[in-house]
Structure 1
Amino acid sequence: MTEVLDIRTLADLLPISDAPDWLRAACRGDTNPEAWFPFPTQDYGYALSVCANCPIMLQCGEFGRATGQSGVWGGRNLDRGRVQ
């Protein structure tokens, strides 16, 4: 049996996207977008607290890991797709 992966494109999660999942994202329209991509010495607390109540947190985290993203994705601090 072949497993089908649900890999999303970055456009699925961007604010310009009209993807249904993005419309439900807790961070959508946030006035502090830099919080998701802080320098290593900055605090991730704000982004993590917003992610904690997000209905697409799991999908977002899967996307970040699968595509090698850095920053806060799905309530996790990632560095090139690896959880820190």
Structure 2
Amino acid sequence: MTNLTRLPGAFDHYWDWQLRAACRETDTSVFFHPSGERPPASAERDAAAKEVCARCPVRAACLEFALATREPYGVWGGMTAEERQAVLRSGRRREAAVVG
């Protein structure tokens, strides 16, 4: 018989913040650019995504997730991929997540 007491248990607490995210009601195309998108369309789309993030109750958790996983695409926690890369290069990840 399998000893279930040695299993790690549920990990849903790592993901449940996503259920409360403001972006759940928004088309993903707002957060992820289409192939070949150029300015000013990219700046307008990023601004629209950041507006959604600004009112999100789980913004800090989202940004921390994106930084921890080094998410290479899209707007997460109110930051673009380029902005997150700059945070990671600067070593100021913790401060960015608190502000996010």
What TM-score do the two structures reach when normalised by structure 1?
A: 0.65
The structure number with the bigger radius of gyration is: 2
Structure 2 unpaired stretches of 5+: 1-13, 88-100
Distance 2:79 2:50 in 1: 7
Amino acid at match of 1:46: A
Distance in 2 (alpha carbons) for counterparts of 1:40 and 1:82: 20
Is 1:82 the equivalent of 2:78?
no
Instruction: For residue 82 of structure 1, report the CA deviation from its aligned partner.
Output: 1.2
Moved over 2 A (4+): none
Deviation at 1:40, TM superposition (A): 5.7
Task: Count matched residues.
Answer: 66
The equivalent position to 2:29 in structure 1, one of 34, 39, 47, is 34
For structure 1, the 5+ residue unaligned runs are 1-7, 13-18
Report the aligned-residue RMSD.
2.3
Larger fraction in helix: 2
Can you list the C-alpha shifts for 1:18-63, whole angstroms capped at 9, x where unaligned? x2x2221110131x21111114641301100000010100010011
TM-score, scaled to structure 2 = 0.56
